[in-house]
Amino acid sequence: MQFEELYANYWDKIYRLCLGYINNPDQAKDLAQETFIAAWKQLDNFRHEASIGTWLYRIASNTCLRQIQIDMRMPKVDFPVQFPEPEVQSIEQEIQLLYRFISELPELDRIIISLELEGIKQADIAEVVGIKEGNVRVKIHRIKEKLTQKFKSHGK
């Protein structure tokens, strides 16, 4: 597969996966770009032991996890001003809320649900995260329950 084709086929999926980890659109774009740079550098070494998509998702997951570790070492500053939330939210705002809730999940849950939302087969998700496919199904069900509770507690 040519790099241009890989980029065209996977950019949106990788970006959304990164957004699920970071919950910051600009930083997610940067991490997605880093993913493709790393993939481009290693494309000749790809051994075809897994699908190229699974390989690319693994690179993206590792890139995001490294960034999260870096962010945890850096002090965060909260703004003192709280802006009121609008009463009527659009679909886009609800999607952003979903990604915020996903970013609050434990690391493994974020990876699994982000890949599930991308329509990745559960067998491939199991391969990416290193657990059995049956465990992936159970985890997805539990993650969906957690997200549903977060929406309910947020008044949705």
pLDDT at 77: 56
Given a cut of 90, whether residue 23 has pLDDT beyond it is no
pLDDT one-digit tens code per residue, 37-91? 998 888 888 777 778 888 898 899 899 888 888 877 776 655 555 555 554 456 7
What pLDDT does 107 receive? 86
Whether 113 contacts 143, CB under 8 Å: yes
Evaluate whether 57 touches 85 at the Cβ level (below 8 Å).
no
Distance CA 81, CA 67 (A): 27
- Residue-number span of the structural domain to which 56 is assigned: 3-153
Q: What is the pLDDT of residue 44?
A: 80
User: 140: closest CA among 152, 63, 117?
Assistant: 117
Tell me the whole-structure pTM to 2 decimals: 0.55
CA 16/CA 25 separation, integer angstroms: 9
pLDDT in tens, 109-138: 988 998 898 888 999 999 888 899 999 999
Q: Is the pLDDT of residue 15 over 90?
A: yes
CATH number of residue 44's parent domain: 1.20.140.160
142 pLDDT higher than 90: yes
Count structural domains, the chain.
1
